[in-house]
Amino acid sequence: MSNRQAGRLLLEMVSIVFAVVLGFAVTNWDVARRDRARAARALDRIALELDANLSGLAGAGPYYGTMAERMDSILTTHGDGPAMEMDIPGWRGLSPPPIRTASFRVAMQTGALENIPFDMADELAVTYDSFDDFRGAVDHALGAVLTGELRAVSSWRAVFALCAELAFAAQRQAGHALEVIGPRQGT
């Protein structure tokens, strides 16, 4: 083999290696681009979900707080007794707002959020935990109503005070999460 043939063979080998490396780089870039687009779509849906939850919680916290205050007044003026026998202005029971979590759960299950910054993912997880805390308290209270454990004004007052606190905390947390993920196309 002559020097010229060896040079040509070396050039062809370098060209092939360069083409393969370039192909891998383009493929990796395309996969990363698609992952970022999928995460952006998931964050758009989560932002819509957070907005909807904020709307529901905006009315729930004040309602629960007002009911707790009214029950404080009843306890002061009438003492403790069965809440259902009391006339409590504005009473509409627990009536929790719907709290949506589907977009976040689907994004987590499909891995759509695996490439977002950790601080953002952590903020979203804490937010959805606060939604779970609120829903858990309401569910527990509804269970107590059904079993007859929740009758006295003082017990209802405690439930409404807790629900108010958790609704306000979830509302603050959701607002903060929206700030962290930033403006989205869908909101």
The better pLDDT of the pair 186, 15 is held by: 15
* Whether the Cβ atoms of residue 139 and residue 72 lie closer than 8 Å to each other: no
- Hey, what amino acid is at 171? Q
User: What is the Cα–Cα distance from 8 to 158, expressed in whole angstroms?
Assistant: 85
In this prediction, residues 140-150 reach a mean pLDDT of 90
What contacts 174, CB < 8 A, 6 or more positions away?
50, 53, 54, 57, 127, 130, 131
Q: Which uninterrupted H or E stretch holds 152?
A: none
pLDDT confidence of residue 118: 92
Indicate the pLDDT class of residue 6, thresholds 50, 70 and 90. confident
Q: Would you kindly state where each structural domain of the chain is located, as residue ranges?
A: 38-181
User: What is the Cα–Cα distance from 77 to 133, expressed in whole angstroms?
Assistant: 32
Using CB atoms within 10 A of its CB, is residue 128 exposed (0-12), middle (13-18) or buried (19+)?
buried
What contacts 116, CB < 8 A, 6 or more positions away?
39, 43
User: What is the Cα–Cα distance from 47 to 186, expressed in whole angstroms?
Assistant: 7
Give pLDDT tens digits for 122-137: 999 999 999 999 999 9
User: What is the Cα–Cα distance from 72 to 85, expressed in whole angstroms?
Assistant: 16
User: What is the Cα–Cα distance from 152 to 12, expressed in whole angstroms?
Assistant: 87
* Whether the Cβ atoms of residue 66 and residue 98 lie closer than 8 Å to each other: no
Give pLDDT tens digits for 71-129: 999 999 988 988 777 788 888 888 999 999 999 999 999 999 988 999 999 999 999 99
pLDDT confidence of residue 25: 72
Q: Is the pTM of this model over 0.75?
A: yes
Mean of the per-residue pLDDT values of the chain: 89
User: What is the Cα–Cα distance from 89 to 86, expressed in whole angstroms?
Assistant: 9
Using CA atoms of 62, 64, 65, 66 in order, give the dihedral in degrees to the nearest 10.
Answer: 80
Q: Is the pLDDT of residue 46 over 90?
A: yes
Indicate the pLDDT class of residue 5, thresholds 50, 70 and 90. confident
Residue 186 gets which letter from DSSP? T
Give pLDDT tens digits for 16-27: 888 777 777 777
pLDDT confidence of residue 23: 76
Q: Is the pLDDT of residue 186 over 60?
A: no
In this prediction, residues 29-44 reach a mean pLDDT of 85
